């Protein structure tokens, strides 16, 4: 039995309950009560969610839980001295303390993230780093595990985090079946970027969006300014100005970003050789791909491939090799 203490606070977001749904689904897959969830709050009683209705909770008390999971919300200062004290106690007694999205701020305020790797929603990552300089913020991760402390990106990433918890407890097969029943992608890798290149570029007009869609569908092409301008129905000079104004990047830089994103997916799948991947996405050869990865991601493709292989080996049962998304404990 895994006793889960699910901590809520005023104006918490209901999407945090997606983790509870995943755990309940795991119980059905396993045909037993392997996860028991208790709703907690500092004082117990009804707690108002951001949606405008209340949930009933128990006070923190002295109960010990296998996993303490914090709800999250749109605010980064939703904690209280009592909540911070509970988090510090939980770190000493629970196997895992889990904080999706802005929950990382609650952990940081409690002092349990000092010296640890953590992530949060990309919109708040810089604020987290500035307010808590002792935290090692990985702002381009879906989720991060550092010893017993788990953090994740935006609220939708709560489901990725829950699937990773289930995978750690009961293996990849059970986690995959839970995802299948929830009709979601099995689990995005912890090291996967929080936002795609197309979302990050955010073109304002359909004309530039059409160009980006064309580029992504034809990465093996040269994708010269002339080719892209023709798709947009503009002269090359007009197109370059319009593209930079809407995306904040030159066409060449944006295309490289799309190529690197596609190459990274192929690398993580692990089926193709480096040279073939480079040609498939229009990066031409291994050396040019390496330079593009370093410019865009800050690390070469070989490092990412090694991390991906380590993660797959761990998921296959190699007890001596931790998953790639697990960071060493700071303790």
Here the CATH number for the domain that contains residue 208 is: 1.10.10.60
Does 290 have pLDDT greater than 70?
Answer: yes
Residue 330, domain member (yes or no) = no
Residue 316, domain member (yes or no) = no
Helices (H), 147-300: 157-170, 172-182, 197-201, 206-217, 225-232, 236-247, 251-269, 274-280, 286-297
Block residue for tokens 């017993």: 148
Q: What is the dihedral of CA 177, 322, 98, 50, to 10 degrees?
A: -50
Give yes or no: residues 113 and 90 share one domain: yes
Residue 82, domain member (yes or no) = yes
Domain CATH number, residue 152:
3.40.50.880
Give yes or no: residues 72 and 123 share one domain: yes
**Phi first, then psi: what are they for 257, rounded to 5°?**
-60, -45
pLDDT at 153: 82
Give yes or no: residues 229 and 176 share one domain: no
Strands 143-146 and 149-152: antiparallel
Whole-angstrom distance, CA of residue 247 vs CA of residue 159: 30
For the chain, give the mean pLDDT.
85
Give yes or no: residues 159 and 33 share one domain: yes
Span 48-103, pLDDT tens digits: 998 888 999 999 988 899 999 999 877 777 778 999 999 999 999 999 999 998 89
Give yes or no: residues 153 and 35 share one domain: yes
Residue 327, domain member (yes or no) = no
Give yes or no: residues 112 and 243 share one domain: no
Residue 236, domain member (yes or no) = yes
**Domain endpoint, select from 118, 150, 182:** 182
Give yes or no: residues 152 and 244 share one domain: no
pLDDT at 321: 39
Q: How would residue 144 be classed by pLDDT, with cut points 50, 70 and 90?
A: confident
Give yes or no: residues 53 and 152 share one domain: yes
Give yes or no: residues 87 and 171 share one domain: yes
Residue 143, domain member (yes or no) = yes
* Lowest-pLDDT choice from 2-6, 77-81, 133-137, 228-232: 77-81
Give yes or no: residues 251 and 130 share one domain: no
Whole-angstrom distance, CA of residue 296 vs CA of residue 44: 47
| Count of domains for the chain | 2
Does 149 have pLDDT greater than 90?
Answer: yes
Residue 229, domain member (yes or no) = yes
Percent of the chain with pLDDT over 90: 51
Give yes or no: residues 217 and 246 share one domain: yes
Q: Which residue has the higher pLDDT, 34 or 199?
A: 34
Give yes or no: residues 158 and 234 share one domain: no
Residue 323, domain member (yes or no) = no
Task: For residues 245-254, give the mean pLDDT.
Answer: 90
Give the domain extent around 228. 197-307
pLDDT at 314: 47
User: What is residue 196's three-state secondary structure?
Assistant: coil
**Domain endpoint, select from 182, 209, 230:** 182
Strands 35-41 and 54-59: parallel
Whole-angstrom distance, CA of residue 99 vs CA of residue 151: 5
Does 296 have pLDDT greater than 60?
Answer: yes
Question: Is pTM, for the whole model, over 0.85?
Answer: no
């Amino acid at each position: 039995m895994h006793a889960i203490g699910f901590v809520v606070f005023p104006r918490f977001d209901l999407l945090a309950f997606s983790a509870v749904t995943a755990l309940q689904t795991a119980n059905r897959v396993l045909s037993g009560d392997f996860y028991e969830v208790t709703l907690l709050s500092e004082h117990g009683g009804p707690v108002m969610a951001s949606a405008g209705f209340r949930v009933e909770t128990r006070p923190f008390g002295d109960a010990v839980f296998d996993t303490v999971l914090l709800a999250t919300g749109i605010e980064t200062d939703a904690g209280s001295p009592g909540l911070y004290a509970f988090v510090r106690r939980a770190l000493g007694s629970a196997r895992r303390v889990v904080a999706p999205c802005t929950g990382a701020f609650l952990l940081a305020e409690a002092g349990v993230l000092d010296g640890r790797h953590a992530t949060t929603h990309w919109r708040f990552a810089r604020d987290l780093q500035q307010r808590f300089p002792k935290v090692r913020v990985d702002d381009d991760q879906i989720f991060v595990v550092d010893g017993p402390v788990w953090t994740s990106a935006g609220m939708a990433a709560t489901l990725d985090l829950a699937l990773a918890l289930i995978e750690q407890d009961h293996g990849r097969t059970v986690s995959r079946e839970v995802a299948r029943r929830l009709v979601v992608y099995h689990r995005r890798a912890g090291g996967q970027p929080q936002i795609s290149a197309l979302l990050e570029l955010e073109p304002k007009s359909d004309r530039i969006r059409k160009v980006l869609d064309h580029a992504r569908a034809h990465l093996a092409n040269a994708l010269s300014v002339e080719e892209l301008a023709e798709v947009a129905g503009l002269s090359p000079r007009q197109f370059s100005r319009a593209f930079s104004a809407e995306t904040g990047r030159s066409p060449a830089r944006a295309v490289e970003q799309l190529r690197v994103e596609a190459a990274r997916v192929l690398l993580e799948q692990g089926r193709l050789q480096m040279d073939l991947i480079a040609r498939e996405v229009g990066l031409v050869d291994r050396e040019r791909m390496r330079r593009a990865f370093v410019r865009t991601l800050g690390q070469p493709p070989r490092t990412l491939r090694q991390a991906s292989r380590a993660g797959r080996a761990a998921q296959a049962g190699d007890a001596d090799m931790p998953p790639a998304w697990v960071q060493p404990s700071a303790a």
